[in-house]
Structures are given as C-alpha cells and as structure tokens.
Amino acid sequence: MTVSIRPANRSDLPLIAALIRDLAAYENLSDEVRFDEAVLGEHLFGARPMAEVVIGELAGAAQGFALFFHSFSTFEGCPGIYLEDLYVRPEARGSGLGKALLAHLAATALQRGCKRLEWSVLDWNAPSIGFYKNLGARMMDEWTGMRVDGAALARLGAGDASSVESR
C-alpha cells in the first residue's frame, strides 16, 4: 500500500479536527478537547501560523497526522521541532505510516537547520514508547513536564503576586 505525507491545507480542517478528537479518545482525554474549529484554523492557516500539520495517507486516504511547531534550544543555539501530536488511525497501524510521519518530520528538521525533534508520550502508552525507542528516540527521564493553564495562567499573566509562592 502506498504511503504518502503531504502538508495540510485549510480544506483539511474538518479532517484535522476529527483526528485530534480521535487522538484524545485514544488517550482517554476527550473531556479536555475544547478547541473552536475556526480558531484552530486561524492558528494553523491564518496570517501568522503557530503550528504546521502534515497528513499521512495510505493509498490516497487520510489515516493520520502530525502537528508540530518550532522550538528553540539555548544550549544548542539552534531551533528544533516539537511534535505536539502524532496519530495514526487504528486500522492503519503497522502500515509504516507512523514511521513515515516521523521520518518526514526528521527530514524537515534537518532541512530547516534544526538540531532536535522532541515530543512527549504518556507514560502508560507502552506501544508508542516501544515504537519510538525502536526508531532511536530516547527517554528524557530526568525532565518533568510543567504546565500553567486556565485560572493559574490568568493569575500569573496578570501579575497576581499572591498566586506565586516565594522560594
């Protein structure tokens, strides 16, 4: 079966939204999907895109996607690519599509002078962890992800010193 990777365009927005929802269901995070499709479209395809998407196809049928954006390493002094989401529909797993999507991103990183391709994976997702390790990825166990969102982000952004602990 022919595997192909192509850049997404605005007409792919309903497909991208559906794939994001499918990924969230797989990760048991459907309740966290809150995007507005029109706003997502502006962030992906508007005047100042904040992220990029590539669509993975098998025999011309969309079966997966990767959403990524540039990061920057101060230690390397160079950009990197951060893979926010990679998803392949269950019926297409084992076809080589996931590997093709990652290889495409690695090639993109090299073409753009990036020194890294990074992503996070849920600690319970053993099939994905094994897949990534087989491709040469290594775990970054010494790092812990952090996030500020919702009300905490609003407080911090407003400079509410009472919401910040002193150390």
Q: Among 26, 82, 87, 132, which one carries the catalytic annotation?
A: 132
Buried residues in 123-134 as b, exposed as e (16+ CB within 10 A): eeeeebeebbee
At 102, which CATH number? Answer: 3.40.630.30
Residue 26 annotated in active site: no
Q: What is the pLDDT of residues 65-79, one digit of tens each?
A: 999 999 999 999 999
Examine residue 36 and state whether it is found in any structural domain, yes or no.
yes
**Within a domain: 167:** no
In this structure, is residue 150 part of a structural domain? no
Helix residue spans in 27-119 (DSSP H): 37-45, 97-111
pTM exceeds 0.95 for this model? no
Is position 14 within any domain? yes
Helical (H) or strand (E) element with 6: strand 3-7
Q: Which domain holds residue 33?
A: 3-138
Q: Stretch 146-166: mean pLDDT, rounded?
A: 81
In a domain, 159, yes or no: no
State the sign of the Cα–Cα–Cα–Cα dihedral 68, 123, 99, 143. Answer: positive
User: How far, in Å, CA of 51 to CA of 70, rounded?
Assistant: 8
**Percent of the chain surpassing pLDDT 70:** 96
Of 45-54, 99-108, 117-126, the range with the lowest mean pLDDT is: 117-126
Q: 147 in a domain, yes or no?
A: no
Q: Once rounded to an integer, what is the mean pLDDT over residues 151-157?
A: 93
Specify if 79 maps to a domain: yes
Q: Give the residue-averaged pLDDT of 31-38.
A: 97
Per-residue pLDDT band at 167 (split at 50, 70, 90): very low
Task: Answer yes or no: is pLDDT of 164 > 60.
Answer: no
How many structural domains is the chain composed of?
A: 1
Judge whether 148 lies within some domain.
no
